[in-house]
Every structure is written in structure tokens, then in C-alpha cells.
Amino acid sequence: MLRNLFLLLFSILIALQTNSQSSKSASDFYSEGLDLQESKNYKDALAAFKKANAIKANDADFLYEAGWCCNKLHLYTEAVTYLGKAVKLNPENTKMIFELAYSQQNSKMENDAILNYKKVLESSSDPNYEANKNLGDIFYNNKDYKSAIINFKAYLFDDEPINDYYFKAGFSMNQLKNFDEAIEYLEKYEPKRNDEIGKKFAEIGYANYLLEDMDKAIEAYKKSLEALPDNGTTLRALGNIYYDNTNESDKALKYFELAIEKDEKNSKALYKKLATIYLSDERHNDDAIKMLKKAIVYDARDVEIRQSLGYVYYLKNDYSNALIQLNKAIELDPKSYEAYCYKGLIFLEMKNKSEAMNMYNKLKNINAYWAKLLLDKININK
């Protein structure tokens, strides 16, 4: 008996709730959705707006709010549907067009998003900082820095721009080779995390390097390393600055070795430069060979590497390996004059003057200066 009474009461309650829901108008659900939206309960707000849309399908405001909640919930594809309908009903409403552009931006519909952000910017005399920011991001992410900087500049006039956009503006200016302006933006960037600090000063170092202010470049790169001591890009950059200064090859060596230790995958182009530094001191011939062998693996068709490896084998009296490398250099470049010269010197050491003269005869038609150097050696050994 009690069970039947309970079932009866439950059925009455459900019926009352159903009647209550069915008695609500689209406006009631819309108001409910706005209240839930205000309290940041976007999931339930969306449900309320959907109910409003179910009752009244062609209301631009209902569709807009549903799309707006979808964006907050990262339901971007669904947002595009609601907001697309809203904009068709109200094609001049920049608020709706902006929200549609945002959903398109996050739904891999970037071309549509660009068109709609531009509509927003063109339809208002007042600056729309968010539209400029988002449009700049699309261009920036697609490496269209020329377009990106136009929007970033407009966005940065905002009273409280997001600080990261000073970095994006500075990076864009570096890519566009406007290094002085790049530094101005980067100096306004105030990062907190070490990785961000490292990126900031690496970009400032790069700008100063290309402005040929090496002291400021070195200072900035060293600040970058203080934040990111294992950063291969910065280590390579510092090494290259010192490498170009013949009086500071020891510092170049230090940074190149660190770059290979910390980031060998992206530092393989340094093998050749390290070998060159090692070759300046015969005590490091074995290190030079090690680097040149790695360099060949990295770029097997580099004639200069083959010539250098042949030369260092020659210095170590390893004529067999020297000839292998020098022959390969000539195979890659039949006008490889250094290779012919080194081969001639090896043949002299091997007491084979006829082959040395053969190298001279080939060399004289390629490079008279190196041919004379070899001939002088041949004449001395008569």
C-alpha cells in the first residue's frame, strides 16, 4: 500500500515538473541562461539557451548566447553553427561577428575568421583591441609577420595589453629585419618564467648581433644563458660571435663544445667549425679528426670537410686515409685544388716524385698559386 502511494506521489511530482517546464517561455529560458551565465555556470546556461532556441528558433540573441557559451566551453564547431545563424539574422552586429570569428579561429577556419575580424575592425570607428590581438595571432602563427605586426601594434595601444604581445611584436620585427624596433618592444616585455626570460634576451641578442653591436649582443646572450643555461641556440650564437673574432677562438671553442654537449641534434653544423679551431693547434689533431668524421656523417658531400680531413691525416703521416679523403674530395669537385696539392705533398713524402709532378700538372690548370706552392716543394726535394 505504501509503495503504491509513493509511486503515485512520484508520478504527480514528475507531472508537476513537466508542466512547470512546459509552461516556461523562450524568454524565461533565455533569462535563466543569462543568470547562469553571470554565475559562470556555462554548461547549464548553454542548456537553457538551447531550450530557448528550441521554442523560438530564429532569435539572433538566443543563438548568440548559445554560441558564446559554446566558445567558453571550447565547443568551437558547435559555436560556429549557432553564431553563423545569429550573424545571418543580424549581419551588422559586430559583437556577433567577433564571436563567430573567434569560434572559426579555433575551428581551423582561419580564412573565414580573418574575413570576419576584418569586418569587425572596418565597421567601427573605435579600436577593437581584441580583434586586433586575435587577428595578429592568426598571422603570427602562420609566420605572416608583416601582417601580424600591423595588428599587434594596434593592440598594444590598449591600456592593459597582455605582456606576451610585446614579445610577439619584437619577434615579428626581428623576422622583418627591423632590429631597432624589435629591441624597443622586447625591452617592454616583462617575463616571469626562466624560459620566457631566456627567449627575451636571445631575441635581443639576435637583434644586436645583426645591428653589429657585438658587445650588446654578447651581454644579452649571456643573460639568456643565465635563465636557460642549456639552450643550444644561444650557445651556438655566442660561439659564432667569438668564432668570427680570430683572437677569441678559445671562447668560441667553449660555447661550441657546450652546444654539442647540450643540443647535439641541432648543433651538427658546428662540427666543421670545431675542427677548424682544433686544427689551429697540432695538439688537437685527434680532436679535429673526430669532429671531421662527424661532419662527414652530417654532410657527406662537403668538399672542404674532405680536404681538411685529408690534410690532418697527412699531418699525422696516415697517408692511406689521407688519400681516401682527398680522392673523395676530387670526385665531388674535380677542381678541388687543395686536394691536388695535398696529394702532391703526400706523394713527395712517399718518395713518388712522378706522381707529385702529375698532381702539379693537373693543378696548374686549376689554380696557379697552389700549383706554384707544390712545385716549390717538389724542387726542394730534388
Helix (H, G, I), strand (E, B) or coil at 280: coil
pLDDT the model gives residue 124:
79
A 10 A CB-CB count for 101 gives: 28
Position 356 in a domain: no
Other Cβ atoms closer than 10 A to 224: 26
Q: Is residue 131 part of a domain?
A: no
Torsion of CA 250, 256, 258, 264, to 10 degrees: -160
- Under 8 Å between Cβ of 161 and 155: yes
Three-state SS string over 103-124 comes to: HHHCCCCHHHHHHHHHHHHHCC
Q: What separation in angstroms does the CA of 156 have from each of 151, 152, 293?
A: 9, 6, 51
Name the grid cell of 109. Answer: 577556419
In a domain, 63, yes or no: yes
Assess contact for 83 and 103: CB atoms under 8 A: yes
Tell me the C-alpha distance between 256 and 20, whole Å: 76
Residue 117 near residue 101 (C-beta atoms within 8 A): yes
Tally of structural domains, the chain? 1
Closest CA to 325 of 304, 337, 336, 309: 309
- The C-alpha cell at 375 is 712545385
- Residues 65, 69, 71: CA angle, nearest 5 degrees: 115
Q: Give the amino acid at 339.
A: A
Neighbours of 157 (CB within 10 A): 10
Residue 175 belongs to a domain = no
Boundaries of domain holding 112: 24-126
Kindly state whether residue 206 falls inside one of the protein's structural domains: no
Residues 263 and 291 sit within 8 Å (Cβ to Cβ): no
Q: Which residue has the cell 508537476?
A: 16
CA distance 263 to 258: 8
The pLDDT of residue 135 is 97
Residue 67 lies in a domain: yes
Length of the chain: 382
Question: Is residue 212 helix, strand or coil?
Answer: coil
Its pTM stands at: 0.81
CATH number, domain containing residue 29: 1.25.40.10
Q: Say how far apart CA 51 and CA 205 lie, in whole Å.
A: 57
**CB 45 within 8 Å of CB 67:** no
Q: Is there a contact between 259 and 232 (Cβ–Cβ < 8 Å)?
A: yes
pLDDT of residue 183: 98
- Model pLDDT for residues 293-330, shown as the tens digit of each residue: 999 999 999 999 999 999 999 999 999 999 999 999 99
Which SS3 state, helix, strand or coil, does residue 217 take? helix
Closest to 133 (Cα-Cα) out of 168, 97, 175:
168
Q: 326 with 307: CB under 8 angstroms?
A: yes
Please report where in the chains the cell 693547434 appears, as a residue. 281
> Which of the residues in the chain have pLDDT under 70?
1-22, 246, 382
- Give, as one character, the DSSP assignment of residue 191: -
Confidence (pLDDT) at 24: 83
Q: Domain for residue 284, yes or no?
A: no
Is position 163 within any domain?
A: no
pLDDT at residue number 382: 66
The pLDDT, as a whole number, for residue 3 is 52
